[in-house]
């Protein structure tokens, strides 16, 4: 099955492996060194957010001969919060607050990578 490997660049690199059915198959946070050692699946399309830190990752991918597509990541962190709370719903009194008021006490770059994959898939579906 063909997969999307999406990368959210930045201080923490978010990684999401997504099927063409939009199902999240794998999600993690990587350092740049871990990304250097990451073994990309054979049956994949790599997509990369075009924000801060993307130039270094582009250079890494180019150096490894891995082709990729750039995806606009504007607003992806905000959208990632929604996916985070879907996966980890608030409990206790937190569940009564609007999600915009609930603090997220962990990095969510992996969810931002998922958003990048979904945006790519939407663009592919629109053009086909």
Q: Tens digits of per-residue pLDDT, 39-85?
A: 998 889 999 999 888 999 999 999 999 999 999 999 888 899 999 99
Q: Tens digits of per-residue pLDDT, 87-108?
A: 899 999 999 998 888 989 888 9
Among 97, 98, 32, 29, CA closest to 60:
32
Which of 29-32's residues contact partners 24+ apart within 8 Å by CB, and which partners? 29/107, 29/109, 29/110, 32/56, 32/57, 32/60
Q: Tens digits of per-residue pLDDT, 15-34?
A: 999 999 999 999 999 999 99
pTM of the full predicted structure? 0.90
């Amino acid at each position: 099955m063909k997969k999307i490997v999406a990368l959210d660049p930045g201080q923490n690199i978010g990684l999401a492996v997504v099927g063409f059915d939009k199902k999240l198959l794998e999600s993690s946070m990587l350092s740049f060194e871990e990304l250097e050692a990451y073994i990309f699946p054979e049956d994949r399309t790599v997509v990369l957010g075009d924000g801060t830190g993307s130039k270094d990752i582009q250079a890494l991918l180019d150096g490894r001969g891995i082709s990729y597509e750039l995806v606009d990541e504007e607003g992806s962190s905000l959208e990632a919060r929604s996916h985070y709370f879907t996966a980890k719903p608030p409990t206790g009194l937190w569940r009564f607050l609007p999600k915009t008021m609930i603090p997220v006490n962990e990095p969510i770059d992996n969810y931002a990578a998922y958003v990048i994959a979904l945006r790519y898939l939407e663009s592919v579906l629109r053009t086909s």
